[in-house]
Amino acid sequence: MPGLWQDAMDHAVILARKAGEIVRDAVQNDLKIMCKSSSVDLVTKTDQNVEQLIITSVKEKFPDHSFIGEESVAAGEPCVLTDDPTWIIDPVDGTTNFVHGYPFVGISIGFAVNKTLEFGVVYSCIEDKMYTAQKGKGAFCNGQPLHVSDQKEINQSIIATEFGSNRDPEVVAKIFSSMRKILCLPVHGIRGVGSAAINMCLVASGCVEAYYEIGIHCWDIAAGAVIVSEAGGVLKDVEEAAPVSSSDTRGY
């Protein structure tokens, strides 16, 4: 049976695919690279164009819907979640990868109503993997059902994380301190593909047991949150999460 917001979800998949084509074409060309908060917080003209394309198309089809988009917020739009049907967009998740031709770049579209996430779409466009999930309807990659790992032992696990773009020495020290503790548990390995959304899809696929990051934004994780939950995983605020010695790591 189609879900409540099926038409919006179908449109999100069409837009993610269209955006993916634009991103793939742009990788071959001269990118217009700019910096945001610092010299390592990158944005390109493609990020901005893709976000505009998605918002313009959604406004035509669903004129009463609202938006939180990474580049719109960077340009001064408010980042406020209301009860309105709201599209939460990261047009190019993994901009640094995109700039360097590192082959993990996602288009991430989450959708919330009454402040509850209803569906998520992450298109890993270089790999051509379309991850989708709708509340209560399961998670899929290119139509195949996903399930998080059933591994219960952290020392049998791979943990994904990212370094983010904050180079404040105190923040960097915290990041390394957490990684060191996790690595020495010991875990099988630490990974990260440079895109929060794709890391979450890897959790949903069961090939990494958990993903964490300090200082993430809602557009990086909104779509991935639905995909992880629908694949049987759980989401936690790192401030509230259990200590790393906890033995159960499944699908964080």
Closest distance to ligand IPD from the beta carbon of 185 (Å): 22
> Residue 47 or 209: which CB sits closer to ligand IPD?
47
> Residue 133 or 193: which CB sits closer to ligand IPD?
193
Closest distance to ligand IPD from the beta carbon of 199 (Å): 7
> Residue 12 or 89: which CB sits closer to ligand IPD?
89
Closest distance to ligand IPD from the beta carbon of 26 (Å): 14
At residue 69, φ and ψ (nearest 5 deg) are -125, 140
Residue 210: which of 199, 195, 218 has the closest Cα?
Answer: 199
Q: Please state, in angstroms and rounded to a whole number, the distance separating the CA atoms of residues 52 and 139.
A: 27
Q: Please state, in angstroms and rounded to a whole number, the distance separating the CA atoms of residues 84 and 65.
A: 6
> Residue 151 or 159: which CB sits closer to ligand IPD?
159
Residues between 202 and 221 with contacts to ligand IPD, criterion CB under 6 A: 213, 216-217, 220
**Quick one: tokens of 111?**
């959708």
Residue 164 makes contact with ligand IPD by CB under 6 A = yes
CB-closest chain residue to ligand IPD: 162
Residue 195 makes contact with ligand IPD by CB under 6 A = yes
Residue 95 makes contact with ligand IPD by CB under 6 A = yes
Work out which of 94, 110, 120, 224 binds ligand IPD, going by CB under 6 A. 94
Residue 122: which of 232, 36, 9, 38 has the closest Cα?
Answer: 9
At residue 202, φ and ψ (nearest 5 deg) are -70, -35
> Residue 50 or 117: which CB sits closer to ligand IPD?
50
Binding site for ligand IPD (CB under 6 A): 70, 90, 92-95, 162, 164, 194-196, 213, 216-217, 220
